[in-house]
Structure 1
C-alpha cells in the first residue's frame, strides 16, 4: 500500500488528510468490490488513532465511495458513471454503453401549460402546450438521476395515449415520430439537493447534486425540448474534451477560407 504521509502540524484535520490519502489510494490501486485494508492496518500505516480512522471511513461511506459489510470489512462501492459531453445521447443509451441494468421509477406523464421560463426557452406560441415527462432513473438498482423532459405536444400526436413504449424517450421520438435532434445547448451547475430530491435519490439531506439543463433543437433550428436532470454527484460526473488555442485558431482559419 502506497502511503501519503499526513502532516500532523497542518491546520487541516487529520481525518480530512486521511480521507484524501485513501481516496487517492482507491483511485490509483483499487476497483469496484476490492477491500480496503482493515482499520488497525490503516491506523498503523498512517500513524493515526482508531477514532480518526473510523471517522474517515464513515465519511467515505457517507460519500458513497465505500460500503461496510458486517463481519467482512470495507469495500469499494460503485464507481461514478461518466458521461462524455459533446454528443446528444439519451440517459438510457449512456447506461447501456456502460453495461448497466436500467430501471424507471415514479413515472409521471401529462400535458401541461408551460411556465414562462419554458415558453421563452422553447419559443412557444400563445396557448401552445407541452408534454411533461418525469422519471426517477436507476442503474443496477440504485437511484442515479431525476429527469424531467418538457417537449412540444404538437410534434408528438397520441404520445399520452400510447405512453412511453421504450426505455429511451429519444428512441421513441426517432422511431415513432421521426424526430431527430440536431444540436443542443447545456448548462451544468452544482447545488444542494432539496429534501424531496434527497429522498427520491436516497442520499443524505443537503447532499450535493449536479443539475443539468439542456435545450435541444430540430434540424430547422426549432427548439423542441427542455430537459432538467438532477444527478447524484457521488455517482455521476461529466467528461469534456478540449482543444488547444492553436488548434482552435487553425480550425477557425480553415472555416473562413
Structure 2
C-alpha cells in the first residue's frame, strides 16, 4: 500500500484483494481472515472491514457468520447511476484492459441516431466499435456514436488512449452530465457470439445509453453487448420520496434542454 498516494487506502486494498481473488481463488473459496489481511498489507482493521464491506455490496464476496468471508462471484459488476468509462470501471476492479477489433469512421446517421441525438439534417456522427477485454478475456462489444462537430480532427488523431471519455475530457473539454440507459437481456447474434467467445445461443446483457452535455444537448449513443456470465448490472433503488425529487429534477433538466 502506498500511504503517500492520494488514493484512499481502502481503494488500494480493494484493487489488491480483487487481484488476489482473480489469481488465486475460485468461487466458494475463503478469503484470509481480517487479521491476516491487516498484517499482510499493513493497514488498519477499519480499512480492511470497509474494503470487505464494499466487496460484499458488489457481490464479489459473501460473509457467513461464524465461518468467514467467501468468494461469491467472478462477475464484473457495473453499478448504475454514474457515468464512468468502461476502462475506469475495470481498473477499479484491478483488471487489465485491452482493446481489439477497433473500427472507427465517420458515418451518415440512421433515423434512430437522428432522433436519439437530435441531429440536424446534414450532421454526421463518429462510429467507434471495439471489443473490450479484461485480463485477456473478451467481455463487451461497445459501439459509441458521437457527434462529429464537437470533436474536430478526432478521426485523424485516432483514439490515443484506452478510455474514450478520458480523450474527450482532456482533448476536447467534453464532460458528460447525465445519461439515460435501457437494459435488456437477449440472445447473442452469431457475430457477437464469435467475438465474445461464447456459444451462439448464449444470453447477453444489452445496454443502450444516451449521454448529455451539461446544457442538455444529447452528445452520444452507446450500444453495449456484454457477456451475461461475466457481467452484472447493479442498480440502487430509492423510496417514493426520493423518486419525487428525481422526477422534479428530471422535469427541470428537460425544460433546460429545450432552450
TM range (shorter): 0.5 to 0.7
Equivalent residues in 2 for 1:117-196, closer than 5 Å:
117-196=112-191
Equivalent residues in 2 for 1:22-171, closer than 5 Å:
33-34=25-26, 79-171=74-166
Pick closer, same or farther for the CA change 1:126–1:233 going to 2, 3 Å: same
Secondary structure at the residue paired with 2:176? coil
CA–CA distance in structure 2, aligned partners of residues 240 and 228 of structure 1: 18
Choose which of 230, 235, 243 in structure 1 pairs with 2:238.
243
Pick closer, same or farther for the CA change 1:108–1:36 going to 2, 3 Å: same
Pick closer, same or farther for the CA change 1:247–1:128 going to 2, 3 Å: closer
Choose which of 188, 201, 205 in structure 1 pairs with 2:200.
205
- Residue 242 of structure 1, CA deviation: 1.2
* Structure 2 unmatched ranges of 5 or more: 1-20, 30-70, 249-259
Pick closer, same or farther for the CA change 1:248–1:102 going to 2, 3 Å: same
CA–CA distance in structure 2, aligned partners of residues 196 and 155 of structure 1: 31
Pick closer, same or farther for the CA change 1:35–1:100 going to 2, 3 Å: closer
TM-score, normalised relative to structure 1? 0.68
2:27–2:74 Cα contact (<8 Å) kept: no
- Residue 211 of structure 1, CA deviation: 0.5
CA–CA distance in structure 2, aligned partners of residues 177 and 35 of structure 1: 43
- Paired residues in the alignment total 186
- Residue 205 of structure 1, CA deviation: 1.1
Listed one character per residue, the Cα deviations across residues 205-248 of structure 1 (whole Å, up to 9, x for unaligned) are 11000110000001111100000000000000111111223554
Larger radius of gyration: 1
* Structure 1 unmatched ranges of 5 or more: 1-30, 38-75
Secondary structure at the residue paired with 1:221? coil
CA–CA distance in structure 1, aligned partners of residues 189 and 178 of structure 2: 30
Pick closer, same or farther for the CA change 1:193–1:171 going to 2, 3 Å: same
Secondary structure at the residue paired with 1:213? strand
- Residue 34 of structure 1, CA deviation: 3.5
Choose which of 193, 211, 229 in structure 2 pairs with 1:234.
229
